[in-house]
């Protein structure tokens, strides 16, 4: 399952052991693995000298350990290591080495292999995780920045459009007032209708661009979810779908009820619209342990067509929509993103094309 996360909270870690390991890991995984393997071989070599083995045999360890570490592939490394160890064992037996010497060499090679690959795997995984986190943080920052730019731009455009829209609507009104022709009345009503539609789109866009300053209070996500689900049930039935609210414990956050309700209803409506042939949208609220502390989560899962990998990075962008003309303005998710961002939260998306999507709104619990 692929995951695209658009989280608003960004916690880049800039110092401490992570950076040290990151600084070490570049050369470690590329250039210095073989020298390290050699060093370890020397250590084994000292043991070999003590048990009376010739130096050329010791050098044979370089091959399995070095290769295994180089490729960091357990199966490949294990096979090479086992073969090399067997060769060494056979040659040692032929040379009439003591049992202790054979055991020492065999165990040494195997243990060394596991030790080196384990260490490198651990480091590699750790560094990869940190890198992924940083990449995600940078992506989020870029996304947020792009949204801010779009928000500012939209606000400017919207203000410029206000006057012409007003004049258009005004002229349509005047034409209708001065005419007895029913066609003129009908057409002017159409103009007014379209103007109010454009205004609604602009208002949505401005909602997205200019947030903040709204009253916050204690919100129980469970109650919010049940109210929203109740409200949308008839819409779901009309589409031949159903919304199932999974009962959960009370989850309290600090926020604006109507804004959070807007987020949830946007997500549920998106889920319903993603299922043209019907299905079930599951809604649940819970407290989840994330990173190092518990957070409030609202999960909305649908059985719709999912989000393609190409679309995933853009779903929170204003005006991005895959819906049919007239179905959506492409602002629902970006407005939701803005609201959740204002609540110091994040929206996570998991989607399997053809099977459905899962949106998780993560919010800080009320202190």
Q: How far is the CB of 209 from other proteins (least distance, A)?
A: 10
Strand intervals (E) in the chain: 3-7, 217-220, 241-246, 252-255, 279-290, 293-301, 346-352, 356-364
Asked if 197 interacts with other proteins (CB under 8 A), we say no
3-state helix, strand, coil in the chain (%, to 5): 60, 15, 25
Number of helical H runs and strand E runs in the chain? 10, 8
Which residue of 139, 173, 311, 344 would you call a contact of other proteins, by CB under 8 A?
Answer: 173
**CA angle centred on 103, ends 102 and 108, rounded to 5°:** 105
Q: How far is the CB of 171 from other proteins (least distance, A)?
A: 8
User: Could you tell me which stretch among 86-94, 129-137, 198-206, 248-256 binds other proteins (CB under 8 A)?
Assistant: 198-206
Q: How far is the CB of 205 from other proteins (least distance, A)?
A: 9
Strand intervals (E) in 194-240: 217-220
Q: How far is the CB of 198 from other proteins (least distance, A)?
A: 9
- CA 113, 118, 124, 128 torsion: positive or negative? positive
Asked if 199 interacts with other proteins (CB under 8 A), we say yes
Nearer to other proteins, 169 or 315 (CB): 169
Asked if 176 interacts with other proteins (CB under 8 A), we say no
Nearer to other proteins, 177 or 327 (CB): 177
Asked if 202 interacts with other proteins (CB under 8 A), we say yes
Q: In this structure, are residues 162 and 205 in contact, taking their beta carbons and an 8 Å threshold? A: no
Q: How far is the CB of 160 from other proteins (least distance, A)?
A: 8
Q: In this structure, are residues 222 and 258 in contact, taking their beta carbons and an 8 Å threshold? A: no
User: Could you tell me which stretch among 118-126, 179-187, 206-214, 286-294 binds other proteins (CB under 8 A)?
Assistant: 206-214
Burial code of 165-201, b = ≥16 C-beta within 10 A, e = fewer?
beeebeebeeebeeeeeeeeeeebeebbeebeeebeb
Asked if 258 interacts with other proteins (CB under 8 A), we say no
Asked if 365 interacts with other proteins (CB under 8 A), we say no
Nearer to other proteins, 145 or 160 (CB): 160
Nearer to other proteins, 135 or 159 (CB): 159
Which helix (H) or strand (E) segment is 261 a member of? Answer: helix 257-273
Nearer to other proteins, 16 or 213 (CB): 213
3-state SS assignment for residue 321? coil
Do the bridges between strand 279-290 and strand 241-246 make them parallel or antiparallel, or are there none, so unpaired?
A: parallel
Nearer to other proteins, 133 or 256 (CB): 256
Q: How far is the CB of 164 from other proteins (least distance, A)?
A: 8
Q: How far is the CB of 179 from other proteins (least distance, A)?
A: 15
Q: Which two tokens stand for residue 131?
A: 């890198």
Q: How far is the CB of 366 from other proteins (least distance, A)?
A: 23
Which residue of 21, 38, 110, 206 would you call a contact of other proteins, by CB under 8 A?
Answer: 206
Nearer to other proteins, 23 or 197 (CB): 197
Q: How far apart are CA 157 and CA 292, in angstroms?
A: 42
Nearer to other proteins, 63 or 165 (CB): 165
Q: Which two tokens stand for residue 197?
A: 């539609």
Asked if 200 interacts with other proteins (CB under 8 A), we say no
What x/- string results for residues 214 through 253 when contact with other proteins is judged by CB under 8 A? Answer: x---------------------------------------
Nearest to 241 by CA among 212, 280, 202, 269: 280
Which residue of 123, 168, 175, 201 would you call a contact of other proteins, by CB under 8 A?
Answer: 168
Residue 8: count of CB within 10 angstroms of its CB: 19
Contacts of 350 (CB under 8 A, 6+ apart): 1, 2, 3, 357, 358, 360
Asked if 150 interacts with other proteins (CB under 8 A), we say no
Q: Which positions lie near other proteins, rule CB under 8 A?
A: 158-171, 173-174, 192, 195-196, 199, 202-203, 206, 210, 213-214
């Amino acid at each position: 399952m692929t995951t695209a996360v658009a989280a608003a909270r960004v916690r880049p870690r800039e110092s401490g052991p992570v950076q040290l390991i990151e600084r070490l890991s570049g050369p470690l995984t590329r250039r210095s693995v073989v020298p390290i393997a050699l060093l370890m071989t020397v250590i084994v070599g000292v043991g070999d000298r003590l048990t009376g083995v010739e130096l050329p045999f010791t050098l044979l360890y370089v091959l399995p350990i070095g290769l295994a570490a180089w490729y960091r592939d357990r199966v490949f490394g294990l096979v090479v290591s086992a073969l090399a160890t067997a060769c060494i064992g056979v040659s040692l037996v032929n040379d009439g080495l003591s049992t202790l010497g054979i055991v020492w060499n065999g165990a040494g090679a195997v243990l060394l292999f596991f030790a080196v690959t384990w260490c490198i795997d651990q480091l590699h995984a750790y560094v990869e995780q940190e890198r992924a986190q940083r990449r995600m943080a940078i992506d989020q920052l870029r996304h947020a920045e792009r949204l801010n730019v779009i928000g500012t731009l939209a606000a400017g455009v919207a203000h410029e459009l206000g006057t012409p829209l007003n004049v258009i609507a005004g002229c349509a009104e005047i034409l209708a007032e001065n005419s007895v022709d029913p066609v003129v009345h009908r057409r002017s009503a159409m103009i007014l209708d379209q103007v109010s539609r454009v205004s609604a789109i602009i208002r949505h866009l401005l909602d997205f661009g200019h947030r903040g300053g709204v009253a916050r209070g204690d919100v129980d996500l469970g109650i919010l979810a049940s109210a929203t689900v109740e409200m949308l049930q008839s819409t779901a039935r009309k589409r031949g779908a159903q919304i199932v609210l999974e009962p959960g414990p009370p989850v309290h956050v600090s926020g604006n009820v109507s804004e959070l309700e807007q987020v949830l209803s946007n997500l549920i409506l998106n889920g319903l619209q993603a299922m043209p042939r019907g299905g079930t949208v599951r809604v649940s609220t819970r407290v989840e342990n994330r990173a190092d502390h518990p957070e409030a989560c609202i999960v909305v899962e649908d059985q719709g067509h999912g989000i393609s990998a190409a679309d995933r990075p853009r779903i929170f962008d204003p005006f991005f929509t895959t819906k049919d003309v007239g179905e959506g303005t492409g602002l629902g998710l970006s407005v939701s993103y803005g609201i959740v961002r204002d609540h110091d939260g994040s929206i996570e998306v998991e989607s399997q094309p053809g099977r459905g999507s899962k949106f998780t709104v993560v919010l800080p619990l009320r202190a």
